[in-house]
Amino acid sequence: MSVFDYEDIQLVPNKCIINSRSEADTTIKFGPMTFKIPVVPANMATIIDENLAIWLAQNGYFYIMHRFDKDNRHEFVKKMHDQGLFASISVGVKPEEYELIDKLSAEDFIPEYITIDIAHGHADSVINMIRYIKKNLPGVFVIAGNVGTPEGVRELENAGADATKVGIGPGKACITKLKTGFGTGGWQLAAVRLCAKAASKPIIADGGIRNNGDIAKSIRFGASMVMIGSLFAGHTETPGEIVEEDGQKFKTYYGSASQYQKGEYKNVEGKKLLVPYRGSISETLREMQEDLQSSISYAGGRSLAALRKVDYVIVKNSIMNGDSL
């Protein structure tokens, strides 16, 4: 098994067949809808809130609302639908989460997407929740995770998941590999490749994206969608608190399994960081789209499909050469 991560890989260019990068099509069909780019902000409390979810849905981007405003999720689905927007929520696996599914079903508020979001998603608790949602809300597109192995992907797909989310511990606010010794941190891209080969349905590569080029690399190795936290954390629209230090502006970004999210220091597997403030998220999304259009041109194609079969080389520890943007 070859083990590598984003910084160890370079994609190999093919002859360009378009006259302008604007001709390259970055759209992706994911579940019942098509989105502008194959990118989704992480379903974390410092990355997405209701206002940003509305803006993303109105502007052709996928979003997944986090699950930490527990009592508001039912109202959130209703609010999105009242505005003619799609609803995409997260759930956990505890008993009260089953009550939410029952309530949505009883009142016929059916979100388009539900993501089952727990740390160790290769578990009977997740399999049971997938089955419950599929039985009680049969039209919903169910994303389940997180997993880091082909076996995990297959079991969740077999239980009925429509997509699986891959990544155990590669996130920037993550300390899982330090606290437990487990995970895909340091070999996340290779894990995405292994999982995608086993998958018969779409996968989301989750965590470890540090540069826009990593989105193209994720697509090359089989992801249909890429989930990103830290690269989005510093924006005006993301909900992290603004902090000023030595005249410089930062925003807070904390893990969903950090004490800041949990309110207590128990089973902590996440930390808090300060991320430089960087203006509006619309500019970052626009730049991601432009960079992806450029990637498609280097792949010698017109759409994301060209990226999926491009050659690559493994250049361990050498390609960045100390470079930074």
Ligand X SMILES: NC(=O)C1=CN([C@@H]2O[C@H](COP(=O)(O)OP(=O)(O)OC[C@H]3O[C@@H](n4cnc5c(N)ncnc54)[C@H](OP(=O)(O)O)[C@@H]3O)[C@@H](O)[C@H]2O)C=CC1
User: Which residues participate in the annotated binding site?
Assistant: 203-226
Q: Is 111 or 255 the residue whose CB approaches ligand LQESDW3C more closely?
A: 255
Q: Is the peptide bond before 146 cis (omega within 30 degrees of 0)?
A: yes
Instruction: Estimate the crossing angle of helix 95-106 against helix 124-136, to 10 degrees.
Output: 10
Q: Is 174 a catalytic residue?
A: yes
Shortest distance in whole angstroms from residue 208 CB to ligand LQESDW3C: 5
Partner from ligand LQESDW3C, ligand X, none contacting 92, C-beta within 5 to 8 A by type: ligand X
In this structure, how many other beta carbons lie within 10 angstroms of the beta carbon of residue 99? 11
Q: Does 191 bind ligand LQESDW3C (CB under 6 A)?
A: no
User: Which positions ≥6 away from 169 have C-beta within 8 Å?
Assistant: 176, 177, 180, 182, 183, 184, 185, 207, 269
Residue 189 three-state SS: helix
Binding residue for ligand X (CB under 6 A) from 56, 144, 209, 257?
257
**CA triplet 255, 122, 133: central angle to 5 degrees?**
90
Q: Does 206 bind ligand LQESDW3C (CB under 6 A)?
A: yes
User: Which positions ≥6 away from 104 have C-beta within 8 Å?
Assistant: 74, 77, 110, 111, 137
Helices of type H across 137-249: 150-159, 176-180, 188-198, 213-220
CB-CB contact of 22 with 303 (8 Å): no
Partner from ligand X, ligand LQESDW3C, none contacting 125, C-beta within 5 to 8 A by type: ligand X
Binding residue for ligand X (CB under 6 A) from 38, 41, 152, 169?
169
Site for ligand LQESDW3C in 210-269 (CB under 6 A): 227-230, 255-258, 269
Residue closest to ligand LQESDW3C (Cβ): 270
Q: Which residues bind ligand LQESDW3C (CB under 6 A)?
A: 42, 44, 146, 167, 169, 171-174, 176, 206-209, 227-230, 255-258, 269-270
Q: Which residues bind ligand X (CB under 6 A)?
A: 92-94, 117-120, 125, 146, 167-169, 171, 174, 176, 207, 256-257, 267, 269
